[in-house]
Chains A and B, each alone.
Chain A
Amino acid sequence: MSSVHEEAPVGTGSTFSRRLGLLVAVGLVAVFVLGIFLTEPDQRINPDTGEIIGQFDAVRLLYVHVPTILMAYLAFIVTAVGSFMYLRKKSMAWDILAYSAAEVGVVFTFLGLLTGSIWGRPIWNTWWQWGDVRIMTTLVMFLMYIGYLALRSVEAADPGIQARRAAIVGLIGVLNIPIVNRSVEWWPNRTIHQRSTFLEDKFDGLTFFTLMLALLVFAGLFSWLMMHRFRLGWLQHQRDTEGLDVAISARRAEAEGQFATVAVDGSVVDGSES
């Protein structure tokens, strides 16, 4: 049943999404220019030895790592909320929202872990660190996303049932985050993430501004991706239920007294107007 329909708008774009996309693109360029060229590298003089220490240029990874991680967490929350609302309202829109956030979220989580690893190598001299609370919690969150998407992508006879199960998984997954967080915190303390630099006020003005801008731009990017992914999911839902609706209409047509005629060779010809 894959007939091709023309004329109505194709794709998931809209005026708003195109404008947002443009803004985000401009913002990304700005963040790039600021982050790579205009901000200062992290250099300090050790008061005791007089030598120059710090992250030097590696600090520029701050502007991609922190936003991607924060968007990953945001997506997780959206999945949980969507799952909860789906269980309450049973409307497919919430399920599609949860599913979309999970897919977008797994991309951001992957990037967050990747940029974190890349940033960690020159700074902490290791690609990975077991026992760091944030890394472990994010890793478990990533694995749970994968499980959720695996569950969701199985061919199911009834999308409603599949949606309900996914919603339960999406909601219960939230339970796990504080538990994992607590358990890793109690491990012999090997946290290498520095305590939040915001609180210690070590940022200079332009660095802080660039980070804030990057957060804003990535939030815009996240929204843009969510819009398209949601619309895609909605269209898929329409496509998948189209066959069902046609069958339902045909059944109703039969019930309302339009009889089918049986041809001479035994084949059934539907006598209704179409």
Chain B
Amino acid sequence: MTQLGYIIAGWVSTFGVLGAYAVLLINRGKAVSREVAEDRRRWMTTDMPEAAGAKGK
């Protein structure tokens, strides 16, 4: 295949970077969710906190 080097460089970097980022995200997600109390662990609660960190209730 002609210009094989460029093709490999382009595809490997794309899949590689995106794959690495995906792995990074998942690991960060697990690490942070362990630091959060169980009842707050799902991503959207019914009462959404307002800005400046104050909780709705």
Residues of A participating in the B interface, judged by any CB pair closer than 8 Å: 2-5, 7-13, 28, 32, 35-36, 41, 56-58, 60-61, 64-65, 68, 86, 90-93, 95, 107, 110-111, 114-115, 118-119, 121-122, 158-161, 163-164, 221, 224-225, 228-232, 234-242, 244-245, 248
Contacts and interface: CB of A to CB of B under 8 A. Distances in A.
Given A64-B10, A90-B50, A92-B50, 9 more contacts: A9-B41, A61-B7, A86-B51, A90-B51, A93-B44, A119-B6, A161-B52, A164-B51, A229-B25
Contact of B14 (A4, A10, A68, A161): A68
Interface in B19-46: 21-22, 25-26, 28-30, 32-44
Q: In which size bucket is the chain B interface? A: 35 or more
A232 B32 contact: yes
By secondary structure, the A interface counts as: helix
B11 A36 contact: yes
A203 B14 CA distance: 23
B11 A64 contact: yes
A242 B18 contact: no
Contacts of A230: 43
Contacts of B36: 5, 235, 238-239, 242
A157 B26 CA distance: 27
Q: 9 closest Cβ contacts across the A-B interface?
A: A160-B52, A12-B29, A8-B38, A160-B51, A11-B30, A64-B14, A241-B53, A56-B2, A61-B10
A91 B55 CA distance: 11
The residue among B4, B14, B34 with the most chain A CB atoms within 10 A of its own CB is B14
Contacts of A92: 48-51
16 contacts: A3-B35, A10-B33, A11-B29, A13-B26, A13-B29, A60-B11, A61-B7, A86-B51, A92-B50, A95-B51, A111-B17, A115-B10, A161-B52, A232-B32, A239-B35, A241-B49
B43 A5 contact: no
Interface of B: 1-4, 6-7, 9-11, 13-15, 17-18, 21-22, 25-26, 28-30, 32-44, 48-55
Given A232-B28, A232-B32, A159 B53 contact: yes
Given A58-B6, A92-B50, A159-B52, A115 B13 contact: yes
Contact of A228 (B26, B38, B49, B52): B26
Contacts of A95: 51
